[in-house]
Amino acid sequence: MKQAYSIIIVFSLGYLLAIIFRSINTIIAPNLINDIGLTAASLGLLSSSLLIAHAAAQIPLGIYLDSHGPKKVQIALLSLAAIGCIAFALSNNIYVMTFARILMGVGFSGCLMAGFKAVSMYLKPNNYALGNGIIMGAGQIGILITSWPTEIILQYFSWRGAYALFIILIFVIIILTYLFIPNNSTTKTDETLKVQLSGLKKVFEDKALWHLAPLIWITGGAHIALLTLWTGPWLHDVAGLGREQVATSLTIIALSVISGIFLSGLIAKILTKYNVNILKILQYILIVNIFSLIPLFLINHKIAFYTWIIFAMTGQGGILSYPWITERFGLSLSSRANTVVNLGTFVVAFFIQYLIGVIIDLFPLTADGQYNPDAYKMSFFFIFTLQILILLWFFKGKKYLNLNK
């Protein structure tokens, strides 16, 4: 039990760091725009470059987690992330900063999946959903840290100084991982590449997964894209909030994400005891998430802020798929299957985050020099339409997912 606590705490801290560096641009966006002279599209591309790198790393990540275990992979990747963070903080060049964000994306790509792998190796199966939920929920504290706490830091330091403080934490997590995560594992380090790829082929050929995964991709991807960049600008440009009010609102939204993930894991643990299909729970949570976008493209008003709370709480309901995936594919293939799902989520997040910037640049600025509120409405309507289409595809696969039982 003590070992389980250590595993959950250390990997929660690692994922927290990943979320901090994924989300920090939503609070330092004004600083980056002023210092570097970014347009909305270039800001979107700079921020989302981390996401596409994160996605590109997922398949090899799954193979290495299954073959080498979470400890070695986590230490190696966090070291790479530290290099990327240092390069970003020291640069004034948009191309160098984008490359640095790519290094960060690869470096932080294993934080969540390594935690999930450790949970599947060291916890009992009936605790998978709760263990995954704790790691993911605790990691979302990173969103909280990039709201008010970071705003306070920015009152005393530049955004580069804030980066330096968080970089120190990366090295702390590397040391904790080395000291407290066990070396022994059930992974098979002697598997040939051909065997590893054949396992990956089995994952890609699964019909049930291909009906489930797109729903997780479009909801989780939109959730990441909006909360890690565009929520802050929306609060300023549409809701008309000042910088301190934006920070307060982002804090509330971050707390909503954290509570939503913890509640999802807890509810799943309780209901599965009564043989409720975990994918049915996932389905209802994500339907609520999709329809919570409606007020954001129908009205431009502060009242729509409350919709962000619902959206934040429900957007990571896809986490409930990971225990199902582990059970379906077995421990030996769990990381490869989970990273396939994670890959799609970050590819979608990249495109949504970047395309929102492109859409915003199509609209003229307001008289105050802010992004046009109608541009946000168009962006959210575009996301909602995609999500409805994917939801219909999910329902078409009910027989493969056993949702009728």
pLDDT tens digit sequence for 176-235: 999 999 986 555 555 666 776 777 888 888 999 999 999 999 999 999 999 988 999 999
350: closest CA among 217, 249, 194, 234?
217
- At 302 the pLDDT is 67
Amino acid letter, 119: V
- At 195 the pLDDT is 72
DSSP annotation of 365 reads: P
- At 201 the pLDDT is 84
Task: State the sign of the Cα–Cα–Cα–Cα dihedral 98, 218, 65, 273.
Answer: positive
Burial class (CB in 10 A: 0-12, 13-18, 19+), 73: buried
How far apart are the C-alpha atoms of 62 and 150, rounded to whole Å?
33
Decide if 282 contacts 175 (C-beta within 8 A): no
How far apart are the C-alpha atoms of 49 and 26, rounded to whole Å?
14
45: closest CA among 89, 105, 91?
105
Computed over every residue of the chain, the mean pLDDT equals 89
Query: What does the pLDDT look like over 322-345, one tens digit per residue?
Result: 888 888 888 778 788 888 888 899
- At 189 the pLDDT is 53
Q: Which CATH superfamily is domain 2-183+196-401 in?
A: MFS general substrate transporter like domains (1.20.1250.20)
CA angle at 286 for the pair 280 and 288, rounded to the nearest 5°: 110
| Token duo for residue 130 | 């709760």
CA angle at 206 for the pair 201 and 208, rounded to the nearest 5°: 160
DSSP annotation of 215 reads: H
pTM: predicted TM-score of the whole model, two decimal places: 0.80
- At 404 the pLDDT is 67
- At 331 the pLDDT is 74
**What would the DSSP string read from start to end of 109-158?**
TTHHHHHHHHHHHHS-GGGHHHHHHHHHHHHTHHHHHTTHHHHHHHTTS-
Residue with tokens 């979302």: 140
Q: Where are the domains of the chain?
A: 2-183+196-401
CA angle at 352 for the pair 84 and 381, rounded to the nearest 5°: 155
How far apart are the C-alpha atoms of 140 and 91, rounded to whole Å?
27
- At 405 the pLDDT is 59
- At 29 the pLDDT is 87
DSSP annotation of 370 reads: P
